[in-house]
């Protein structure tokens, strides 16, 4: 089973470290046969939220937002790579993700959290978990926390310890189970009612 996966990453700092973890998990998704796209805020420089994607008439969204929507709308699931800023989610990550809502409904998500210290960003992950549930894409039970992110991966995402590949396989196998189950359920619902995935999502809330 091959899934369309969006990997969200939300730091725009010039000295950012979490991008290494985001590159790592994107590559692991690809290694497992998925179509994975890394969404880096430097490649998708959105302003602080004005209008959400759904508030634009079809074809009227700004170019950057439309490019992002072209990934977010058809995705089967989302992996959210979150640092911990003051025990919560980095604002650039929340801003990026807040541009969408209905597009996430009835899909699954998974949290990879990280920090410079030993706790791996798990405090931010708890806030993020509540946020993702509210956004209609409840996260899978397991987290993938990365302590000392600055030394866990090379710049291109190569792990400095192969144990990360084993951990990623376990985490992604769980994500795939939920993403595939929800994908099948969405397809069955569409067959029953003749609507497309977006209609199902919009009608569900």
Asked if 115 touches ligand FMN (CB under 6 A), the answer is: yes
Which one of the spans 62-70, 78-86, 95-103, 160-168 is the region binding ligand FMN (CB under 6 A)? 78-86
Asked if 117 touches ligand FMN (CB under 6 A), the answer is: yes
Asked if 26 touches ligand FMN (CB under 6 A), the answer is: no
| Among the listed residues 188, 113, 171, 178, the one whose alpha carbon sits nearest the alpha carbon of residue 145 | 113
Asked if 28 touches ligand FMN (CB under 6 A), the answer is: no
Q: Using alpha carbons only, how large is the chain's radius of gyration in Å?
A: 16
| DSSP annotation of 187 | H
Mark 133-162 with x for binding to ligand FMN (rule: CB under 6 A) and - for no binding.
----------------x-------------
> Both tokens of residue 205?
């809330």
Residue nearest to ligand FMN (CB): 18
**Whole-number Å distance between alpha carbons of 178 and 176:** 6
* Minimal distance, residue 1 CB to ligand FMN, in Å: 31
| Among the listed residues 123, 120, 108, 45, the one whose alpha carbon sits nearest the alpha carbon of residue 75 | 108
């Amino acid at each position: 089973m091959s899934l369309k996966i969006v990997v969200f990453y939300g730091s725009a700092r010039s000295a950012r470290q979490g991008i290494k973890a985001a590159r790592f998990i994107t590559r692991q998704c690809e290694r497992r046969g998925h179509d994975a796209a890394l969404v880096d805020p430097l490649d998708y420089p959105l302003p602080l939220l004005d209008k959400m994607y759904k508030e634009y008439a079809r074809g009227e969204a700004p170019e950057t937002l439309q490019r992002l929507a072209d990934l977010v709308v058809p995705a089967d699931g989302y992996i959210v790579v979150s640092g911990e800023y003051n025990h919560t989610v980095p604002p650039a990550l929340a801003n990026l993700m807040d541009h969408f809502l209905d597009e996430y409904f009835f899909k699954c998500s998974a949290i990879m959290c990280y920090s410079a210290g030993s706790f791996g960003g798990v405090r931010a992950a708890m806030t993020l978990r509540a946020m993702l549930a509210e956004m209609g894409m409840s996260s899978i039970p397991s987290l993938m926390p990365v302590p000392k992110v600055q030394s866990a991966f090379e710049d291109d995402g190569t792990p400095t310890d192969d144990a990360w590949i084993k951990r990623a396989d376990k985490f992604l196998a769980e994500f795939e189970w939920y993403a595939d189950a929800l994908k099948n359920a969405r397809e069955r619902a569409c067959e029953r009612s003749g609507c497309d995935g977006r209609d199902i999502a919009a009608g569900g809330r």
